[in-house]
Structure 1
Amino acid sequence: METTTLVTILQASIAPFVLISGIGLLLLSMTNRIARPTDLIRRLLEMLPTAPERDVKFLLGQVTVLRKRCSIMRWAIFYSILAIVCVSCVMLLLYASLLFDIPLHFMVEVLFGGSLVSLIISLLYLLEDIRITLRSLDLEIERHEGNSD
């Protein structure tokens, strides 16, 4: 392989590499966001057998909301990983296209577009998790304000 061909391949791969790095950081954030409710569910379930009767319904409600958040984050993580897979395939196709002189531009465009769509879907799931988190917090604040009266 000529040096100019290798340089062209590396130049074409810069944007996908940057995209993978950015998505990787988002994935790190998402895995941290799913770990917290998972641990909290375990603690709430441990508290449930000894909880006063008036708190059981509230604890079960919290478990339900936290479980929903975990499910949402699972989808966010799935779409982020799908975006990384698509970008990785783009890099592989770019390499194959330049190395073997095969016209794969359409597949590259479709996969790159698919990676961006997957990333957007992932971010929408993340946004939904944040919305649920804040709504749950508002309900808990209201509950505590009601108990202090």
Structure 2
Amino acid sequence: MKAFVAILLLASAAMATPVSAQTSAPSPLLGSWAVDLSRLPIPPEARPKSVTITYSDAGDGKWRTNVDVIRQDGSADRATSTHALDGTPAPVAGNFEADTTAARLPERNVLILALAKGGIPASTRIYAAAPDGKTMTEVAVYFRDGQPVMRTNYFARVK
């Protein structure tokens, strides 16, 4: 029984440690990703011209995230954050949806982001890179009229 408990404790500790701390191999999520506009679940006239997400290593176990949106009229929005991958809250600058984020990297190819605005939960985003590293999906979870909503967006690697 003691051995079983020890194994459970070791497994729990491994699961609680971000993958970036467990291995030196870089995450396939690092790089730039462009959303597939044709698959956005909104009418074409409401779609932006482009959405690009870039993840980069900021050192000290942190990532920098830049989200660039070019709207139909050509105006641009940029959200930026530098965050640890251990679930610690970090500020987000320039985002109309969020001013705080917390991130975890439970697997090399999976990033989970929790977003909040003014201390109120806004959404949870789960990003997963395909095994070949060429595509990524985003599942966004949020609430509309008190009901949970899940939206999936599809991205292709830019670089």
Higher relative contact order, chain-length normalized (CA < 8 Å, sep 6+): 1
- TM-score higher than 0.5 here? no
TM-score of the pair, normalised by structure 2: 0.25
Greater strand content = 2
TM-score of the pair, normalised by structure 1: 0.26
Greater helix content = 1
